[in-house]
Chain A
Amino acid sequence: MSEIANTFTLDGQIVHFTPGQTILEAALEAGLYIPHLCFNPELKPHGSCKLCTVIVNGRSGSACTIKAMPGQEVQSSTPELDGRRRLQLQMIFVEGNHFCPGCEKSGNCKLQAVAYDLEMLNPHFPHFFPERPIDASHPDVMIDFNRCILCEQCVQTSRDVDGKNIFALAGRGMKSHLIINSPSGKLGDTDFALTDKAAHVCPVGAILEKRVGYAKPIGERIYDEKTIREQVAADAEGGL
């Protein structure tokens, strides 16, 4: 009985959930895609990118932070919400310096993949073109702050998984930026290692392993092969 009760509807489709799961977690487990960027199933929900904003029983909120409850009616793929998500992506694109053609992460980048999914054709708003020097001081990993979207996945992973506290956010408003925990502020002066999980969680091309950028050619990468929607469905399939 209780299993039947633990369902909600997502755009009319019935989704089963385990009590304690968020709407986004349950949806992804069912192979249903709700656009998102800052969410990582292995970390505490962050709730900052707002792309996963859905309407739950008439009220809007982040699918990554709202707990799934029996009988919820969740709207996600509506023209209005997708339009807002597209707008949100455009805002994120003009905030940083996202030059996909020159980025090693292109094709494996979540920001780009979500933009493809939402058919974002241009960044629309005037670019801020901020000045953000890169940090190449570490022997194995480089940081290109131009692409950082402030999702804090590296911050959380380094702190909560690696136990190292290498990263943090500083500043306020548009001056917010990622900082490194060393007196020089350089990654090379920390005990960060390629084996750290935090070296591999960046959804965009801000934290990159050196010397392997083009091991897999552009055109043959994750989101060249599949859309992010198809990828999520495939992951759920594989997880079963």
Chain B
Amino acid sequence: MDTQVSSQPQKVAKRKIRVATTSLSGCFGCHMSLLDIDERILQLIEVVEFDRSPITDIKHCGPCDIGLIEGSVCNSENVHVLREFRENCNVLIAFGACAVAGGLPAQRNHLDIGDALREVYCDRAGLGKQIPNDRELPLLLDKVHPINEVVRVDYFIPGCPPSGDTIWKFVTDLIAGHMPRLEHPLLKFD
């Protein structure tokens, strides 16, 4: 990419790569880790611009080159957001243990969701006897799923969270047009 830029000096400003990010059912830890690339974010900003992302506060995703999804699919809103990303992003990346494999949210999968809601909203003192049913609230899926069980996913960055270095290596490889590769010690599931 660098070579491409240098071969056409200052003629046309190279279009920046448009990136969207979001967190479905996650803890935003992966986004925090993204910030762990520290000052390298300045290099990144040279070639990248952000569409929908917690960083920009843009609410809906437009056409993008890359979408980074943190978190697993736990409720109907997650499904809608994920579909929006899949429709708009050329390349979709599952980013972190929850998006890749279900992660901690999926540890509720052995519970019956009705029992869980009842225990939280009905069986506790002082909380009333009603499971919230406002139509504004997204409904919970009976099981939590990694995102590749809902849409086609192009790349996976495991880790809880993936380290800043891992994310940096992966994203810069991708932007440079290389097949991203993670090896020890960048490849971690925890």
Name which of A22-30, A75-83, A95-103, A185-193 contacts chain B. Answer: A95-103
Name which of A35-43, A49-57, A121-129 contacts chain B. Answer: A121-129
A selection of 19 A-B contacts at a CB cut-off of 8 Å is: A93-B101, A97-B109, A99-B102, A100-B190, A101-B104, A101-B189, A102-B107, A107-B190, A121-B155, A121-B158, A123-B100, A127-B102, A127-B106, A127-B145, A127-B149, A129-B106, A129-B109, A224-B185, A224-B188
Contacts of A132 in B (CB 8 A): 110
Chain B CB within 10 A, most for which of A106, A112, A119, A127: A127
A121, B149: Cβ atoms under 8 Å? no
Residues of A with Cβ closer than 8 Å to B? 93, 97-103, 106-107, 112, 115-116, 119, 121-124, 126-127, 129, 131-133, 218, 224, 227
Q: Residue of B at shortest CB range from A98?
A: B101
Q: Residue-by-residue, is B125-166 near A (CB-CB < 8 Å gives 1, otherwise 0)?
A: 000000000000000000101101100000111101000000
Contacts of A122 in B (CB 8 A): 94, 100-101, 146, 148, 156, 158
B94, A119: Cβ atoms under 8 Å? no
Contacts of B158 in A (CB 8 A): 121-122
- Interface residues of A, dominant DSSP: loop
A121, B182: Cβ atoms under 8 Å? yes
Q: How far is the CA of A106 from the CA of B97 in the complex (A)?
A: 13
Pick the residue among B110, B149, B187 that contacts A116 (CB under 8 A). B187
Q: How far is the CA of A132 from the CA of B109 in the complex (A)?
A: 11
Q: How far is the CA of A99 from the CA of B105 in the complex (A)?
A: 10
B146, A119: Cβ atoms under 8 Å? no
Chain B CB within 10 A, most for which of A102, A116, A124, A131: A116
